[in-house]
Amino acid sequence: MTTPTTDPILEVRGLEVTLGHGRRATRILNGIDLSLQRGSTVALVGESGSGKSTIAKTIIGIHQADEGSIRFAGTELVGADRGTRRSVRRRIQLIPQNPYSSLDPRRTIGQTLAEAIDPVLGRVGRHRQQISSALAMVALDDAAIGRYPHEFSGGQRQRIAIARALATDPDVVIADEITSALDVSTQAEILVLLARLREELQLTVLFISHNLAVVSQICDDVIVLLNGDVVEAGPVGSVFSHPASEYTQTLVDSVPGGTAFTLALAESAPLPSTPDSTGGTP
């Protein structure tokens, strides 16, 4: 597992977010604090509606904060001008949940990655080397460049989504439930791939998941959310071994095999970081 430094690259303090307008306005986040040190992998866990994805979308600018601070490498993002946010956006990349809806069916894989690299002048020929390198990182070859999303399996599409995120050479990757739409064997392949990339590229990862078993294997620290509040945070092994909140204990108990199973995972070695051989040529 990557050894994180003591230098935080992303800090969120007192983050409050309300979605909707008028009578339909709903407070989603209530003063959220979190910090990602360079090279660390931090999990956000909690049931659906707890605010996990809202945090991710606010960090990358899809949602706006009502209150609080989001600092990336010392730069304040809340209230920042468009140019600042655009430059930072390339350095914080989101891997979305659904590999079937996250890729434009009308664009080739090469066009999709070229647009990620340069939204204004994103042409495949202009960026072919970067596109090829990004695909190679996820064990796909250049044959993918001229093909369309429907020609790939779900697992291959998720690899492409990962390649798109990596094409801009980001400092932070936000992985939002990236295995939830995949079958069990493909989930394992994607997690091994992510573990390898984290080691090779020294990535900082915010890992959003409802699966505590996966979090136990891939993350350094965990933040537990409930109804827009942080109810517990700390090292994965400590939080899962000795939950301080009743809600965290409920999550631990919900893992198949119960507490004993979760503790065994928390104390075990992380996922192997060796390249897998299942997704070479599409």
pLDDT in tens, 64-78: 999 999 999 999 999
Whether 124 has a pLDDT exceeding 70, the answer reads yes
Number of structural domains, the chain?
A: 1
Residue 241 lies in a domain: no
Cα–Cα distance measured from residue 104 to residue 192, given in angstroms and rounded to the nearest whole number: 26
How many CB atoms are located within 10 Å of the residue 153 CB?
14
Residue 135 lies in a domain: yes
Token readout for 228 is 């827009």
For the whole model, what pTM was predicted?
0.87
Q: Residue 273 — very low, low, confident or very high, per pLDDT cuts 50/70/90?
A: very low
Residue 138 lies in a domain: yes
Please list the helix, strand and coil fractions of the chain in percent, rounded to the nearest 5, in that order. 40, 25, 40
Cα–Cα distance measured from residue 17 to residue 65, given in angstroms and rounded to the nearest whole number: 5
Residue 225 lies in a domain: no
Whether 94 has a pLDDT exceeding 80, the answer reads yes
- Check residue 93 and give its pLDDT: 95
Residue 152 lies in a domain: yes
How many CB atoms are located within 10 Å of the residue 236 CB?
24
Residue 35 lies in a domain: no
Token readout for 79 is 């209230």
Residue 137 lies in a domain: yes
Contact by Cβ (8 Å): 237, 250: no
| Residue that wins the pLDDT comparison between 145 and 85 | 145
Token readout for 98 is 């659904």
pLDDT in tens, 148-185: 999 999 999 999 999 999 999 999 999 999 988 888 88
CA–centroid distance for 17 within its chain: 20
What percentage of the chain exceeds 70 in pLDDT? 88
Whether 82 has a pLDDT exceeding 80, the answer reads yes
Residues contacting residue 92 through CB under 8 Å, at least 6 positions apart: 10, 59, 60, 72, 170, 171, 172, 173, 174
Residue 100 lies in a domain: yes
DSSP 202: T
Cα–Cα distance measured from residue 266 to residue 125, given in angstroms and rounded to the nearest whole number: 46
| H-assigned helices in the chain | 52-59, 82-89, 109-117, 128-137, 154-166, 184-201, 212-218, 236-241, 246-254, 258-267
Q: Which domain holds residue 154?
A: 94-169
